[in-house]
Structure 1
Amino acid sequence: MTDTRAPWSPEAFEERLRGKSTSYHIHHPFHVMMGRGELTPPQLRGWVANRFYYQISIPIKDAAILSNCDDIAIRREWIQRILDHDGCHIGGVDDAGGIEAWIRLGQAVGLSRDDVTSLRYVVPAARFAVDAYVNFARQRPWQEAVASSLTELFAPHIHQQRIDTWPTHYPWVDAAGLQYFKQRLTQARRDVEHGLHFTLQHFSQSRALQERALNILQFKLDVLWALADAILLSQCTIEITGPKA
């Protein structure tokens, strides 16, 4: 049956995409506890250690998008995301990257570099959720994988919340470890501008495509929610000895 419904206007479509913010993991009980300063040091360490698996998977996901993409303009823009996380030493630019910044966050909460990079604290359900997202980017059309990135619409708020509240709620955390959140404020807004523009343009060809984009965004939101579920329900906590314990 032919779908005769008219597409939403770009403004109405964008409003629906942004309306998905109600499913963002900032509303998950674990992140609500984090925002209120209610996590114990072992709980916060457990989150940092598990979330690292997501961090190291982001450039792998983005590389999968690039490998499927036949649009040179998109590839030129998208490759910056890999450099943001992996770091680069190009043309006088020396950037350690977001993955290294997350390792420093781990050290700021009392973990060793090996505690973080060994992945020994990553719980199975967290791996499953993150791997589902990477496999989506590998297997689905690159246009859909681009749309899945739009959870970044909501990311600056949660990064700013951590920058604003952690020094008060978690004063034992070395403030230098918050650099990851600070640099993502700018990077995420830049990425959103590009990803949103493409999604509004490509998926506005029909109502069915617009609804598909909304479902894709919901899938990614579900991945992040499931990751938070995995950390909360596993009760992953990391006890250490020393001044931060």
Structure 2
Amino acid sequence: MTAAQALRPWSREEFEERLRVVAEKHYHDRHPFNLRMHEGRLSPAELRRWITNRFHYQRHIPVKDALITAKFDSPDLRRMWLRRIEDHDGREEGEGGIERWLRLGDAAGLDRTVLLSGADVLPGVRLAVDGYVNFCRLRSPLEAVAASLTELAAPDLMQRRIEAFERHYPWIDPDGLAYFRTRVRQGRRDSGEALPLVLKWARGRAEQEQALAALAFKCDVLWSLLDSVDQGPRETRS
């Protein structure tokens, strides 16, 4: 293969397949903590620790989406992406994905005030979330949108999670699972909007590889978050 052939852009079909392979093989559904969760092997303390730390990620989703929206020079694109902010923040107080995650915390017996304070968020989780927000702040629109394509794998994970919670964690009120139920539909819609943008924008091989790297980075963010949750808090030293 010549150098020119090696740098030739992949076809649209091959590029999409490569994106889907990254989302499938590197998504955090394969993380040992998620596997234990879905097998019903988490203790109440472990599950509450995950809910607490994942909330730190959830509350920053509309922040990163606002940063992405600001990169678009098209009103149509801004209107489309603004809906993602509304999905999480809601139109009114008491609505949206952040509120539904707080209700999951309520159902698991967590103090909502503590969740909102962020006092129990682990340092590694803060670092991972900050890294993702700053990535969306500093990188190109292509890379920021490509990083969101973890949504290609999210709906299936949400469905498995609902089934796992209903089967293995009956002490959590079923009403607390509303976030997961909503994200099955939203995740499919979001990836269905973002994927065509990435396929359209990444015309050259270098741009395609940037998009793949951005998606792999996002997978690493989610994996690192779970690494921190899995290891738990450091012991206090005297």
Alignment-derived partner of residue 241 in structure 1: none
Matched, 1:19 2:21: yes
Distance 1:195 1:95, change over 3 A: farther
Q: Does 1:49 align with 2:62?
A: no
List gaps (5 residues or longer) in structure 2.
Answer: none
Deviations 1:199-236 (A, max 9, x none): 01111x11221111111100000000000001111258
Q: How does 1:141-180 map to 2 (within 5 A)?
A: 141-180=140-179
The alignment partner of 2:10 has SS state of: coil
Residue type of the partner of 1:138? R
Structure 2 counterpart of 1:122: 121
CA gap 1:177/1:3 in 2 versus in 1, 3 angstroms: same
In structure 1, the partner of 2:231 is 233
8 A Cα contact 1:3 1:208, kept in partner: no
**Partners of 2:148 and 2:215 within 8 A in 1:** yes
Name the TM-score, length of structure 2 as normaliser: 0.93
1-structure distance, mates of 2:94, 2:75:
24
Offset at 1:102? 0.1
d(CA) in 2 for partners of 1:83, 1:144: 22
Structure 1: which 5+ runs fail to align?
A: 237-245
Provide TM-score, normalisation by structure 1: 0.90
For residue 5 of structure 1, the aligned residue among 4, 7, 16 is: 7
Deviation at 1:139, TM superposition (A): 0.9
Which residue number in structure 2 is paired with residue 214 of structure 1?
212
Aligned-partner SS, 1:70? coil
Correspondence list, 1:186-225, <5 A: 186-203=185-202, 205-225=203-223
RMSD in angstroms over aligned alpha carbons? 1.6
Q: Give percent identity, aligned residues only.
A: 49
The structure-2 alpha-carbon separation of the partners of 1:67 and 1:32, relative to structure 1 and needing over 3 Å to count, comes to same
Give the Å deviation of 1:158.
Answer: 1.0
**Aligned partners of 1:3 and 1:82: how far apart in 2?**
41
Counterpart CA distance in 1 for 2:104 and 2:31 is 21
Extract structure 1 runs of 4+ deviating beyond 4 A. 1-4
| 1:133 corresponds to | 132
